[in-house]
Amino acid sequence: FSQRLLQIQCSTDRYRRFFLLTGLAAALLGFVGGQLQPAVLRACLHTLRILSRDRRAMGPMITDSALLTLTHLGGINLRQPSQQQDKTKIQDQCDRTQTQIHGKEAKAAYHGPWVELSALLWLPQERGVLVLTSALEQRLVLRWTDGNQLIPDSTSSPVSKEVSQDVIEILKIIFNVAHRLYRQEPDEEEAALYRRLAAVLHHCLLLSCDGADTLEELQGHTVNILSALPLTCLDVLLAVPVGQASYKYEGVNMDCVHALVLFMDRRLNRGQKLKEKLTPVLSLLTESSRVHRETRHYLRQKILPPLKDVAVRPEQDSTLRGQLVRLMTHVDTDVKDCAAELLFVLCKENVSRFVKYTGYGNAAGLLAARGLLNGRRNSGDGQFASHYSSDSDSDTEEYRQARSKINLVTGRVEAEQPDPMEGMTEEEKEKEHVLNENGRFFLLSSSLDLNTSLHPLLLHHCHLLDPNIYTSNSHNDPSII
């Protein structure tokens, strides 16, 4: 009964906090829509910015009316000629929402938070993505060509710290709005919107900022959003003209992929909060490699180049491959699975190739989870098998010469061990042979009883080797054997 009472109390506290947060957000949005003193307006907006980081308070803030109010206060003009009709429709919808809310509030004022939530349920969340994407474009002063391509900035000057902080705040809000888009299949209109957002995020990844920490934070929030977008909308990351590329591979612009590799390398070297800091970029690279052959080839060149030094264990290597292999035995399951999944996809989900680059001991966890420990399935896994090309794995001359000597469990060439019988006489060798045969016979003919201790089995093993070992009456008791 006390446990049930505690559960009810916790549930009541959660509902009370939800009402307080949504009520405060709705009240502040009502205040900022009126005429306020600059200091009061600044305090209200600062409080709303803090509340926007809590998903429970996001309801009143991502309605169309709230977004239009905030964009108006931010000086963002969305009424472009090509979108005028769409904006008129949004304004009409906002007017209907306000009418419905005010009507319900007049009938039952104490149901305010639920009215805001019910209005949120039928308002399309892509409107918030549209507004915030436009805010990003305006803050970064981006220009588009007729073919929906971003015009590169020829000056390439670092973004100021003030602009960077504004962009970071916008990216945080976008993630709160768009985090539910992952794995969803968007319609044609939504896909165009998300591709436009992905193009802006591509630009954010390649920005140069005033300060390394600011750049790291900006790229981190960018990666978080990219990992939440539908996979079908990420093709724009590779659709940039090759003439603008600093890194090219197979005729495709790889600037974005290269920036993600550098970002992953920095996060690996820091080694802090790996689940929060590293898993988004690992997941993004894994899914991109599955659906884009050029991305997989480029990442394989950077992470899994042809093996040369086969005398070092994979997890002891200092390269990107070694760092990822070390994560395959990490205590955090999410980190371990993400690292193993990326390497497995780069190996085209081929078991023998995966074992070749990681060692069977490191690969056992993922192979066991997929039912591949017997090594019978080598040709790709499941629905993504058709995405992998038939290119062969190129081996270096050093690997070909050492292939027969590689220990598949450790993934390296082990040092030659001395002969354990070296220096023994023939009688000693014969005695060692008898001991080994007795031990082998014991293992083949006996089974471990999990309901008893190991002590009787050890005594029985000793009895097989030397029948005269029992010297006490207790040991001669056959019940312990």
Cβ 179 vs Cβ 228: under 8 Å: yes
**Does the predicted TM-score (pTM) go above 0.75?**
no
SS3 state of residue 280: helix
Residue type, position 266, single letter: R
- Residue 315, pLDDT score: 85
Contacts of 86 (CB under 8 A, 6+ apart): none
- Residue 77, pLDDT score: 60
- Residue 154, pLDDT score: 58
- Residue 324, pLDDT score: 93
pLDDT in tens, 452-481: 454 544 555 555 555 554 444 444 444 433
- Residue 135, pLDDT score: 84
- Residue 225, pLDDT score: 92
Rounded to the nearest 5 percent, the helix, strand and coil shares of the chain are 65, 0, 30
* Spans of all domains in the chain: 241-417, 426-480
Cβ 222 vs Cβ 201: under 8 Å: yes
Give me the numbers of helices (H) and strands (E) for the chain, helices first please.
20, 4
Short-list 84, 200, 91, 83, CA closest to 140: 200
Cβ 254 vs Cβ 248: under 8 Å: yes
Q: Which residues of the chain have pLDDT under 50?
A: 1, 80-85, 87, 90, 93-94, 96-124, 378-383, 450, 452, 454, 456-457, 469-481
Number of other CB atoms surrounding residue 467 within 10 Å: 8
- Residue 244, pLDDT score: 74
Cα 61 from chain centroid (whole Å) = 27
Q: Which two tokens stand for residue 334?
A: 């999410």
SS3 assignment for the chain: CHHHHHHHHHHHHHHHHHHHHHHHHHHHHHHHCCCCCHHHHHHHHHHHHHHCCCHHHCHHHHCHHHHHHHHHHCCCCCCCHHHHHHHHHHHHHHHHHHHHHHHHHHHCHHHHHHHHHHHHHCCCCHHHHHHHHHHHHHHHCCCECCCCCECCCCCCCCECHHHHHHHHHHHHHHHHHHHHHCCCCCCHHHHHHHHHHHHHHHHHHCCCECCHHHHHHHHHHHHHHHHHCCHHHHHHHCCCCHHHCCCEECCEECHHHHHHHHHHHHHHHHCCCHHHHCHHHHHHHHHHHHHCHHHHHHHHHHHCCCCCCCCCCHHHCCCHHHHHHHHCCCCCHHHHHHHHHHHHHHCCCCHHHHHHHHCHHHHHHHHHHCCCCCCCCCCCCHHHHHHCCCCCCCCCHHHHHHHHHEECCCCEECCCCCCCCCCCCHHHHHHHHHHHHHHHHHHHHCCCCCCCCCHHHHHHHHHHHCHHHCCCCCCCCHHHC
- Residue 477, pLDDT score: 45
- Residue 156, pLDDT score: 64
- Residue 282, pLDDT score: 94
Short-list 50, 213, 75, 227, CA closest to 138: 75
